[in-house]
Amino acid sequence: MCNTNDETLEHFLLECTILESIRSNVLCDIDDTLFRACGKQISDFEQPAKIQILLDSTFLHELVTEVDEELLPELEHHTRRLCYILHGERQKYLLKTECRRRKGGSTQL
């Protein structure tokens, strides 16, 4: 979408600038819950671990010794929200781009 990199899972979930504003809102919620659950934020982890946490919050056990179990469902809720919202936004973006292309207009945004 941003044409600056390959659309890998990492790029889509964490880096694509087109999705940044939407991503940062949900990441605030994830950071808040993560901090209460284990005293860390998503930026404290390496890239592969970030992806693992976002796709399966139970992976947190592999990374941190003390995790507040009661907060894992809340964390799961926010990580699921992130994937859902990013996916929806990507679909919207691609549809918009496709419509413009069909109309013969510019694909520049």
Residues 100 and 9: their CA atoms lie apart, in Å, by 26
Which amino acid is present at 73?
P
**Which of 15/29 has CB closer to Zn ion?**
15
Q: Which of 13, 16, 27, 86 binds Zn ion (CB under 5 A)?
A: 16
Instruction: Name the one range near Zn ion by CB under 5 A: 15-23, 38-46, 55-63, 101-109.
Output: 15-23
Please say whether the beta carbons of 53 and 79 come within 8 A: yes
Smallest distance, Å, CB 20 to Zn ion?
9
Kindly list the residues in this chain that would bind Zn ion in the complex (CB under 5 A): 1-2, 16
